[in-house]
């Protein structure tokens, strides 16, 4: 993929539009986690060091394009960004397009920063509307995409506007994502072990299909394991599974067997009749789940089996928890695997989503080689799909 990065472009004194992913989690108008803002700082600070006029665009939440909504305003983000930039003034207009915004962009001084209002207040953003894309493009001389987490979406700010800006490239966060995930799909050091968890098989069929061309062993846990166990004839009690995907799971198991790639499934479970901290739980003697209960975490024998594969790996990709880890008594499997992955000698990549929450909860994030900022985007990348936000930069 031939993409230029921000440090390969001449951006001095130019208006540089950086598409960032400031879709932070909020509660009562306050930012709960500023990780995504911090992740964009290297690119923003580099642009400022070159005296660029920096214009930042992002969405926040899902306002559905119906105009301004207080709870989705970028204002708290502008305030936090200002603090992170050493209390630097961040210009914050009341919209993201229009004549007033265009004038603001032209009047900016080198080294100034402007954060636009939520792009998704306009329905045209998600529709990838050409006219809206042109309006955004008119604000800048150079377009930089540093929002990997939204690069699998063909929206105006992630793909559309790039057509109307002659000079374009990617930021440092995007570079880190492309290089780390690229290594997994093109040249992983062997043995390569992938760990997939989470609720649904349907979300990950294409990922599994592609991983079977790359991995030496595939570990499957979480809710999605029960669709595979059902396909193999085990009883699964009240456990979560997808009836319509049992046939697909069977086909995947057959294909893996033909290729000689072991798919490791749970051999025991922690089960209970309900998900709660007070529910009475027990460990099953094998992979069968008793009637009236559901599998909510992997059992000790499973952890032992999984850890053998992890300890031999030179490359590990992990996406999705192995149980209902938000509930303390069903968190042991996910927490233990997080620590094993972190302590391994492998190149380790966490594919966004709940797995990021898990490594943070296990306090091992600093030991992971690369933590992806995009759950959906990282999965589509590993599937081998072209991401609109990246192809727009080629």
Which residues have a catalytic role annotated?
36, 200, 353, 376
The rounded distance, in Å, linking the Cα atoms of 6 and 169 is: 6
Q: What angle do CA 229, 234, 235 make, to 5 degrees?
A: 110
Residue 119: is the preceding peptide bond cis (ω within 30°)? Answer: no
Pairing type for strands 269-272 and 294-298 reads: antiparallel
φ, ψ dihedrals at 174, nearest 5°: -60, -40
φ, ψ dihedrals at 105, nearest 5°: -65, -35
Specify whether the CB–CB gap between 313 and 337 falls below 8 A. no
Angle between helices 375-383 and 172-186 (to 10 degrees): 40
The rounded distance, in Å, linking the Cα atoms of 297 and 279 is: 13
- What single DSSP character describes residue 122? B
Farthest-apart Cα atoms in the chain, separation: 71
Q: Which two tokens stand for residue 356?
A: 């990021």
Instruction: Tell me how crowded residue 325 is: count the other CB atoms within 10 A of its CB.
Output: 25
Helix (H) or strand (E) holding 356: helix 354-361
Distances (CA, A) of 212 to 102, 291, 296, 304, 349: 49, 33, 26, 23, 17
Strand order in the sheet with 263-264: 263-264, 217-220, 192-196, 315-319, 347-350, 370-371
Q: In angstroms, how far is CA 380 from the centroid of its own chain?
A: 10
């Amino acid at each position: 993929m031939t993409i230029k990065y921000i440090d390969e472009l001449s951006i001095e004194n130019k208006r540089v539009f950086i598409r960032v992913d400031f879709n932070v989690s909020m509660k009562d108008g306050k930012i709960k986690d500023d990780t995504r803002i911090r992740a964009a700082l290297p690119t923003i600070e580099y642009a400022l060091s070159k005296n660029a006029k920096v214009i930042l665009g992002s969405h926040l939440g899902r306002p559905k394009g119906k105009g301004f909504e207080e709870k989705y305003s970028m204002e708290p983000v502008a305030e936090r960004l200002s603090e992170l930039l050493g209390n630097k003034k961040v210009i914050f207009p009341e919209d993201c397009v229009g004549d007033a915004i265009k004038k603001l962009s032209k009047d900016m001084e080198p080294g100034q920063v402007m954060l636009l209002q939520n792009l998704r207040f306009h329905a045209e953003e998600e529709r990838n509307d050409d006219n809206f894309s042109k309006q955004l493009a008119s604000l800048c001389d150079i377009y930089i995409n540093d929002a990997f987490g939204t690069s699998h979406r063909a929206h105006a700010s992630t793909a559309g506007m790039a057509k109307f800006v002659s000079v374009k490239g990617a930021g440092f966060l995007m570079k880190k994502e492309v290089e780390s995930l690229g290594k997994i799909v093109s040249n992983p050091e062997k043995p390569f072990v992938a760990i997939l968890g989470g609720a649904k098989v349907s979300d990950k069929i294409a990922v599994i299909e592609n991983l079977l061309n790359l991995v030496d062993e595939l570990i499957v846990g979480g809710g999605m394991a029960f669709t595979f166990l059902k396909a193999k004839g085990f009883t699964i009690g009240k456990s979560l599974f997808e009836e319509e995907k049992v046939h697909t799971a069977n086909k995947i198991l057959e294909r893996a067997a033909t290729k000689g790639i072991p798919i490791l499934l749970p051999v025991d479970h922690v089960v209970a009749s309900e998900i709660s901290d007070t529910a009475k739980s027990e460990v099953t003697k094998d992979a069968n789940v008793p009637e009236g209960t559901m599998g909510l975490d992997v059992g000790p024998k499973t952890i032992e089996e999984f850890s053998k594969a992890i300890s031999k790996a030179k490359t590990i990709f992990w996406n999705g928890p192995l149980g209902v880890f938000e509930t303390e008594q069903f968190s042991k499997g996910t927490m233990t695997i997080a620590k094993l992955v972190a302590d391994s000698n492998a190149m380790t990549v966490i594919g966004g989503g709940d797995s990021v929450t898990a490594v943070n909860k296990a306090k091992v994030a600093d030991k992971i080689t690369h933590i992806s900022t995009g759950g959906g985007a990282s999965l589509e990348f590993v599937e081998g799909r072209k991401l609109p936000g990246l192809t727009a930069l080629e």
